[in-house]
Amino acid sequence: MGSPGNGGIVELTDTGLGREEVVAVARDGVEVRIGADAVAAMERGAAVVAELVASDEPVYGVSTGFGALATTPIPAAKRALLQKSLVRSHAAGMGSEVETEVVRAMMVLRARSLSMGFSGVRPLVAEGIVALLNAGLTPVVPEYGSLGASGDLAPLAHAALPLLGEGSVRDSGGELRDAGEALAATGIEPIELGAKEGLALINGTDGILGMLSLALADFELLLKAADLSAALSVEALLGTDRAFAADLVALRPQPGQQTSAANMRRLLEGSAVVAGHRHGDPRVQDPYSLRCAPQVNGAARDSLAHAGRIAGYELESAIDNPMVLPDGRVESCGNFHGAPLGQVCDLLAIASADVGAIAERRTDRLLDPVRSMNLPPFLADDAGVNSGLMIGHYTQAAMVAENRRLAVPASTDTLSTSASQEDHVSMAWGAARKLRASLENLRRILAVEITCAVRGLELRPDEPAAGTAAARDCLRESVPGFGEDRFLSPELGAAEELVGSGALVAAVEERIGGLG
């Protein structure tokens, strides 16, 4: 496995890569290098391809065309041109540019798969990708073009073009540059592709896997924030922590539920607000949005754990077609099909929508004077003159509604392409793209709830728990408290930044220890 422990360097080996390393390269610009075992593995695979090039045996993508043209023989004199033409023709994407972090994740994952030695490419191909990464040159990749089988063809082709000195890149400062000029300025030599090397550069699930790896990191943090936002609302709405008792929750031993309930117990521990109405409260039980928070957030945690296992398997996988095997065989297969990744991306989008939906219900309750246990309407100072957080809830509700639409699976859709040679595709790229959008919305949805819950909590006379007080104090460093109406959008944006950066959760964990 690769590791960032070597002075902040991720080393690609012949055995795979860890998810944390992908995130480090994609987001933090960690340097990448290729280990000696990976070089040896690629040299072995390239030798097999070289032997096949010299023979008369037809091999897909080496001496034949691609897709529905797989039965078209390619004369030896045109096989190098075949690989260059493949990259050029498959770079047919359209739409907005894909985010830099996604392209970088895709690039390091393609280099990772090539480094395992089953693609038959020379080491210089993977080294070329690594050189771009380390120079901070990011290929421009349009959003549309991948059907998730055969892998991420168009996005990977756009990412491969700069290796040839073609296409466009963004430099480390974000400036759009011609790839040839950018390579010359950084001393990187364009590559002349050999047999099968163009095909190997574009036949993978690396864009899907890259987005899933980033999403897993984001969702893990957001689920801690979701437990925090639920705990804040429980206090602000004068709810009880008794439903989260360890022995009670253990009667249903779902792992994620146990973790979320434990988080909420810790977050509410020592709360004078909760203790102040523990006795003599005529209410028999809290509404579902409070009482069932560990069940909903916990179910999302279990989905996250499953998706993490699937991503882990993929990070150990060699993805290409055909595959160059150690015994010299070159065999076509379907390992490039994105179904395993697309299905878990859809599952996580469903989980994200559900976590956001229950957060919105708590927000609505905080703003409704009939159900908020005597908080002012919309948490407004002089309600009527002021609207308080009324329209913040509208914004949150709009994103909850969008996340419901984004929860509709992409992986159950398919269509036939390449003259029906590729007659079942995964749509996993689309599943990963909508998951990114859903998690962005969830970050904002939680930020709105936290803003409302903290304001409501401050209107209670008793002191909150240490954990929720830490969240209040952190929020108040960027977002003013109760008072007359102000320009609300920047305040919600500041809360979103605290949630998304992890600063809010970090402030809480510093006060009460790490959350599960």
Q: Which long-range contacts (CB under 8 A, 24 or more apart) does 55-60 make?
A: 59/322, 59/330, 60/321, 60/322, 60/332
Q: How far apart are CA 12 and CA 113, in angstroms?
A: 9
The pair of structure tokens assigned to 218 is 């984001």
8 Å CB contact between 451 and 479: yes
367, 452 Cβ separation under 8 angstroms: yes
Task: Give the tokens for residue 465.
Answer: 């728990």
C-alpha 62/C-alpha 191 separation (Å) is 18
Helix axes 339-367, 428-458, angle to 10 degrees: 20
**Cis upstream peptide for 377 (omega within 30°):** no
Q: Are 434 and 423 in contact (CB under 8 A)?
A: no
The residue whose two tokens read 């990187």 is 188
β-bridge pairing 31-34 and 9-12: parallel
Spatial separation of the C-alpha atoms in residues 255 and 141, rounded to whole Å = 39
Q: Which residues lie below 8 Å from residue 321, measured CB to CB, with a gap of 6+?
A: 60, 61, 150, 199, 203, 332, 333, 334, 335, 336
Q: Which amino acid is at 464?
A: P
- Tell me if residue 11 falls in helix, strand or coil: strand
The b-or-e profile of 124-154 (16+ CB within 10 A means b, else e) is: bbbbbbbbbbbbbbbbbbbbbbbbbbbbbbb
Location of structure tokens 């160059």: 324
Contact indicator for 82, 74 with CB cutoff of 8 Å: yes
Catalytic, 60? Answer yes
Which is catalytic among the residues 60, 144, 288, 313? 60
258, two tokens: 């146990």
As annotated, the active-site residues are 60
